[in-house]
Every structure is written in structure tokens, then in C-alpha cells.
Amino acid sequence: MSGAGDVVARHRAAGRPFAAAGVESRVWEAGAGEPVVCLHGVPASAFLYRKVLAELAARGLRGLAWDLPGLGLAARPPRFDYSWTGLGRFCVAAVDELELERFHLVVHDIGGPVGFELATAMPERVASLTLLNTIVDVDVFRRPWTMEPFAHRGIGELWLRSTAIRPLFRALLRLQGVADRGAVSDAELDAYVELLTREDGGAAFLRIMRGFERTPAKRALYASAVRDVPYPVQVVWGDRDRALKLSVHGEQARLAARLDTIHRLPGKHFLQEDQAPGIAAQVAALAAATGGGHAAPDPAPGNG
């Protein structure tokens, strides 16, 4: 078994299976206390949150992350609706299946739009919302250059079938994803590719990439998930993100939520890999402000 295979095997063993909306997936949990649902984007899976869940547990919260259909260790049914709407419906069903009556919500990348679908479907059950390097103004969003090829038929398939896909992804994840090179091993970076392409060669991932709903109606819906809502909202950003830039996408999120502050962390796009303590501290502080969880000092410099 390869290094990446060992990593994936350990990751699989740490989670448990469940099914929602007729789709089999897997959920990872750590800690007790108020639930914190952590939604991933692309080209990731719940694997991205493995360090964050432990940090949330250390702060008196119960961290949960599950794989969205078509990604990670979730099933990849060919007839599933892989749009943000369809993935959001799955998350609504997952919340019910996992019996989460009230939960804090953390969203990242396109897990933002998916999470906004969830939040607008059941706002009374959301205790707080944390936006991590995500998109709200979806109608004007353009995919970063590293992700754009996957949106095009033929090119995306060729990229995923290339024998160079692992070293290519490894280089791209280090370039745009992780600021601290020592925070994640090559085997862990290769595990992202294995989790992306397992079973179907990445076909479901490509359907997700081609199913972005970049419309004014969706922008209005997602703005309604972060503005004038019954739960507190915060924006936390890796300030060196080249894919979703703080000065552009971070500001769009801040303005949509009508917030004064973006909490900055010294990270790139996958700040969960090297800034897990800082993320968990911000989530715990917001949870404490709502009357749940335990506040923790923020160890990351430069916040605010």
C-alpha cells in the first residue's frame, strides 16, 4: 500500500458510515458539547478538517465533517444532482439523519454555497456561521486558473487521467493551499488526489465543477444566509490565499454580511492544514458569544 493509501486507510477507519437522501457517505467526529458542522469544498473532502475537528474538541465543542456526494469516501451516484442546490439538499438530509437539532456551521470554498443552501433551509437550527475563504457573490465569480480546466469537457478528463496528476496536484496544493510546507506531508497531499479520483476517476468531481450555479438569484439567496439572520456570522480568511483573495472575495463576503471585520489568519486557501488552532479559536469564541461552547484565546497573530 502506498503512503497515500496508508493515509486514506487511517482516515477511513477514523470515521463512520451513514446515509442521507439515499446516498452513502462517511462522517468524522471529535469531542462533545455543541455540534459544529464543517463543510468542505473542492478538490477536497472531509479529510481537510481532520486537524480542525481535534482543535474544536479541545475547546469543548463537538466537531463534525462529512464527505459531500461525489467526493472523498462518499458514494458517486451517476444520477445525483451535483449542483450546489443538490449538494445542499443532501446536507439538509444529513443534519436530520445525524440528529443535529442545533449546530454551528463552518463553510469553506464551494462548501460556502452548499452551506448557504443548508442555512436558508433551516435558519432556526443554525447557532452561528463562520465563512472560511468562500464565495457569496457567485454571479460574478470566476474559477481560479488552477480549477478552470476541470470545468471544460475533454480537458478536465485529460488532466485527471494524466500520470502527472499526483505531482501536479501536490505542487498546486503547496502553491495555493498551504503556507507552512512542514504542516502536511507529500503522502497527505497525495491522499487528496486518491480521495478525489477513487472509483470513478474523478467523474463526479467534474460534474460538480460544471454544476456551479452562478446566477443573480443564487447570489441573492446566499446573501440572505449571511445578512439579517437570527444567528451571528463571522468571516475568517487566510490572508495569503491566491485562489480566493482576501482583497476581493474576502471583502465581498464581509460586505454581504455587513461586518466591520475580517479575522485574518496567516494562511493560504487550505488554511485548515496549518491554521487549525486559529480557526477553532474563532469558532469557539463565536460559539461562546451565543451562549455555547468555551471561549479560547486566539493564538494566531494578525487577527482583526
Segment 153-176, tens digit of pLDDT: 888 887 777 755 778 788 888 878
- CATH superfamily, domain at 3-289: Alpha/Beta hydrolase fold, catalytic domain (3.40.50.1820)
pLDDT at 151: 80
Q: Is 114 helix (H, G, I), strand (E, B) or coil?
A: helix
pLDDT at 290: 86
Buried/exposed code over 57-95 (b: 16+ C-beta within 10 A; e: otherwise): bbbbbbbbbbbbbbbbbbbbeeebbbbbebbbbbbbbbb
Instruction: Indicate the domain borders of the chain.
Output: 3-289
pLDDT at 293: 52
pLDDT at 1: 43
- What would you report as the CA-atom Rg of the chain, rounded to the nearest whole angstrom? 18
Instruction: Point out the residues of the chain with pLDDT beneath 50.
Output: 1, 295-304
Burial class (CB in 10 A: 0-12, 13-18, 19+), 170: middle
Cell digits for 284? Answer: 469557539
Question: What one-letter code names the amino acid at 285?
Answer: A
- For 49-79, write each residue's pLDDT tens digit: 999 999 999 999 999 999 999 999 999 999 9
Burial class (CB in 10 A: 0-12, 13-18, 19+), 13: exposed
pLDDT at 2: 63
Cell digits for 137? Answer: 457573490
Other CB atoms within 10 A of residue 149 CB: 16
DSSP annotation of 263: E
pLDDT at 303: 36
